[in-house]
């Protein structure tokens, strides 16, 4: 290797501090930002990276891994006995068949595509299953291969421009459903193929609702790629909001809802940046949109509704690292009316993060237990939840250590 080349922390036997610096640099994160996320000083980060301080204890290592979105703990520690996936969940058993359907390139076929009405009904049922099943990835993974193939055929066999636009809208939505399945699984290139194909199909459909959904998911994919991609997340997000604004005076509930969901996503990214004031301003704007929707309305893809705004407030507070505010928002949020099991589970995980920020570790574990009850597959794929469980498994309290260890076994981060 050239002496000027950057060492690869996954290949070279480099020290913890060097790995931390390499991973931070790859994320496009400054020392000051990382220090702020960890609640430490920039000089402390510099000393760790320079090897003047030894590798910290496990709770801090886990916080560093969370801040840097490290997918496997061994990538940070260099300890090959610590193969614990954090922000990548296990590869689902149905992933190979979904991947095969996505990677197929149909040009000719002897089979007739189903009607748009038939595809729409199947999509409605698939979204319902995604929100109602505790093991939602298993259910959705079983439906996706045929849905992908049939939606591709519908585009291929469309007889008119209007039929083709309608088919492209359905195909875009199928790719959106696919992104929910693939997210946090160990195949990032497949995820980005789905993101890009969904956006192209949505643009071809010329349907504001489809365009909004694809942009909402692309925003999340960019943001989850790390701080270096926050500008890309905002670019997609804010451009789509500007595109949707002229449609809003006479918009359907679905178009209103996707606009509100995008407003919240802009606030979410701002909170990740540490721009708390901007984050809450976007939350207020999203809240105003939610208030225009019927009380019992619930968007089938994004979960945007009046009911979800309390959960969104918890997210903003947690991402702003405001422990007491997170707890206050969690107490104020009425999430019992959220019909989606995975969305309820995600809210419980955000609650747990808030409680831990506030030093209420018992309440954090109780919230994670509720997340597991709502949707086991959500917590198994969530890096924040896994970090809290692993950290509390090292607690000085025997009862807390036992409770965390039992949950760690259930979600698959510790062996039974």
Q: Is residue 197 part of a domain?
A: no
Would you say residue 275 lies in a domain?
no
In a domain, 98, yes or no: no
CA pair distance 135, 15, nearest whole angstrom: 39
pLDDT number for residue 193: 95
> In the prediction, which pLDDT does 120 show?
96
pLDDT digits (tens, 9 = 90+) for 284-329: 999 999 999 999 999 999 999 999 999 999 999 999 999 999 999 9
**Is 67 a domain residue?**
yes
Residue 35 domain flag: yes
Within-domain flag for 211: no
How high is the mean pLDDT of the chain? 90
Mean pLDDT of the region 359-387:
93
Domain count, the chain: 1
Q: How many CB atoms lie within 10 A of CB 126?
A: 20
Whole-number Cα distances in Å, 216 to 3, 129, 264 = 42, 21, 10
pTM score of the predicted model: 0.84
**Which two three-digit tokens encode residue 11?**
């290949």
Q: What three-state secondary structure class fits 65?
A: helix
- Reported as a single tens digit per residue, the pLDDT across 28-72 is 888 988 888 888 999 999 999 988 888 888 888 888 888 888 877
Which pair of tokens denotes residue 260? 């509100």
| pLDDT per residue as tens digits for the range 148-191 | 999 999 999 999 999 999 999 999 999 999 999 999 888 889 99
What's the CATH number where 68 sits?
A: 1.10.260.40
Q: Which residue has the higher pLDDT, 18 or 2?
A: 18
Do 77 and 124 contact (CB within 8 A), yes or no? no
Q: Is the pLDDT of residue 9 over 70?
A: no
- 240 near 198, Cβ under 8 Å? no
Q: Which domain holds residue 63?
A: 16-77
Residues with Cβ < 8 Å from 140, sequence gap 6 or more? 126, 129, 130, 133, 177, 180, 181
Asked whether residue 50 is domain-assigned, the answer is yes
160: left (phi over 0), alpha (psi -120 to 50) or beta: beta
The answer as to whether 52 is a domain residue is yes
Rounded to whole angstroms, the maximal C-alpha distance in the chain is: 69
Half-sphere exposure of 145 (CA within 13 A, CB side): 11
**Among candidate residues 331, 132, 53, 263, the one with its CA nearest the CA of residue 45:** 53
């Amino acid at each position: 290797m050239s002496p000027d080349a950057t060492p690869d922390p996954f290949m070279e036997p480099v020290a913890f501090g060097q790995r931390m610096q390499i991973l931070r640099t790859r994320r496009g994160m400054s020392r000051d930002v990382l220090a702020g996320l960890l609640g430490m000083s920039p000089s402390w980060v510099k000393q760790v990276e320079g090897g003047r301080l030894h590798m910290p204890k496990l709770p801090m290592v886990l916080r560093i891994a969370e801040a840097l979105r490290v997918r496997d703990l061994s990538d940070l520690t260099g300890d090959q006995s610590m193969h614990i996936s954090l922000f990548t969940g296990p590869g689902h058993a149905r992933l190979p068949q979904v991947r095969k359907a996505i990677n197929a390139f149909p040009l000719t076929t002897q089979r007739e595509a189903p009607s748009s009405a038939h595809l729409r009904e199947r999509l409605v049922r698939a979204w319902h299953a995604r929100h109602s099943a505790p093991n939602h990835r298993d259910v959705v993974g079983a439906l996706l291969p045929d849905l992908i193939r049939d939606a591709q055929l519908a585009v291929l066999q469309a007889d008119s421009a209007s039929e083709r636009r309608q088919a492209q809208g359905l195909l875009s939505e199928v790719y959106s459903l696919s992104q929910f399945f693939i997210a946090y699984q160990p195949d990032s290139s497949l995820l980005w193929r789905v993101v890009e194909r969904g956006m192209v199909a949505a643009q071809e459909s010329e349907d504001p609702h489809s365009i909004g959904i694809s942009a909402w998911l692309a925003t999340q994919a960019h943001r989850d790629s790390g701080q270096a991609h926050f500008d890309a997340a905002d670019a997609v997000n804010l451009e789509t909001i500007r595109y949707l604004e002229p449609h809003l005076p006479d918009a359907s509930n679905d178009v209103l809802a996707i606009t509100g969901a995008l407003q919240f996503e802009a606030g979410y990214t701002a909170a990740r940046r540490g721009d708390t004031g901007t984050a809450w301003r976007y939350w207020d704007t999203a809240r105003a949109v939610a208030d225009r929707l019927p009380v019992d309305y619930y968007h089938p893809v994004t979960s945007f509704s009046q009911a979800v705004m309390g959960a969104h407030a918890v997210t903003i507070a947690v991402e702003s690292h405001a422990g007491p505010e997170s707890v206050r928002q969690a107490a104020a949020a009425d999430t019992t009316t959220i019909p989606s099991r995975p969305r309820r589970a995600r809210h419980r995980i955000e609650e747990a993060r808030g409680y831990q920020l506030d030093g209420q570790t018992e309440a954090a574990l109780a919230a994670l237990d509720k997340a597991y009850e709502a949707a086991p597959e959500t917590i198994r794929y969530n890096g924040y939840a896994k970090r809290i469980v692993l950290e509390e498994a090292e607690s000085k309290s025997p009862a807390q250590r036992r409770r965390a260890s039992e949950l760690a076994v259930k979600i698959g981060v510790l062996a039974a």
